[in-house]
Amino acid sequence: MVETKIPSPDEIRHAASLLRAGKLVAFSTETVYGLGANALDEAAVARIFQAKGRPTTSPIIVHVSSIEMAHTVVAEWPRSAERLAQRFWPGPLTLVLKKQPAVPQLVTAGLDTVGVRMPANPIALALIEAAQVPIAAPSANRFTQLSPTTAQHVREGLGTRVDYILDGGACSVGIESTVLSLATPTPLLLRPGGISRERLEEVIGPVEQRREPSDGAHPSPGLHPRHYSPRTTLLLVRGGEVPREGAGAYLQLQCPPVTEVREVITMPLDADDYAAQLYRTLHDLDLRNYDWIAVDAPPDSPDWEAVRDRLQRAAFQGTNP
């Protein structure tokens, strides 16, 4: 069961006043906790990059509380955007569209497009409404590390780098939003997430799959080879083939018991339920000081695409460019 916590109206007003003053506020959404700043204040947005250690080649998603507010940051609103917003907003879907000149280049990694979404979280929506500005917000963690799904994760990861944490309890979806570009001739799935490609295609027809970005600005956040990583080495395994040396934990699906593992956690067989538990489980295991965390490779079916993406990047052993 997802832990719920409702901030008081005074807490929301305080957080909104900090955003208007150029400060950083971490807040809950249905996906993960975001590290928010006024999206139209370039100096405030720069503080996000500094706090996270985030490269400026990675754009930041802008959060809005209405379609009307979305129009203040996007320059074009095609019929496909309207249909998707009517179907999936509020929700874990980010639409990439041509940006308005008022959106700082820092938000968009210098590109002429901006990612925008309306979160399906009453606390996030109340915060945006109270602030009366769109909020630029990547995940509230250090760059490439595990995304936070509780306020405590934010405290442990960012500490004093954030001015205020608006605690809304645990996030329900548990992984980041789907990112879909409508600024290309054919809609392009840039990052899989809480809304599957199949569900998008039911609304707007064919959606192409992105290729890995080359050097320079990325069209979406979350595209670096190494990302979403716990401090503990994460290994993707099949059939219980865990390391024979060191002490570790094993996230299994349907495998025989493994006696060499210090801790075995059976994960849900439903992709959405698995996603909702994934980051929280990895955060908990990171505190155990294991030598490794072994994770069963998820199925190859479309409904597991977002989970596969997160685990493959978390297990990547190279370095980001």
- Spatial contact of 189 and 306, defined as CB atoms under 8 Å apart: no
Say if residue 7 is preceded by a cis peptide, omega within 30 of 0: no
Contacting residues for 105 by C-beta, under 8 A, at least 6 apart: none
What does pTM read for this prediction?
A: 0.95
3-state secondary structure of 95: strand
Q: Give the pLDDT of residue 315.
A: 96
Average pLDDT for 181-204 = 95
Asked if the model's pLDDT at residue 66 lies above 90, the reply is yes
Contacting residues for 300 by C-beta, under 8 A, at least 6 apart: 308
Asked if the model's pLDDT at residue 165 lies above 90, the reply is yes
pLDDT confidence tier of residue 213, bands split at 50, 70 and 90? low
Domains defined for the chain, CATH in brackets: 9-209 (3.90.870.10), 233-314 (no CATH)
Residue the block writes with tokens 């849900």: 268
Is the model more confident about 225 or about 178? 178
Per the prediction, the chain carries an average pLDDT of 94
Average pLDDT for 193-212 = 91
Is the model more confident about 37 or about 259? 37
Q: Determine what percent of the chain falls in helix, strand and coil, rounding each to the nearest 5.
A: 30, 20, 50
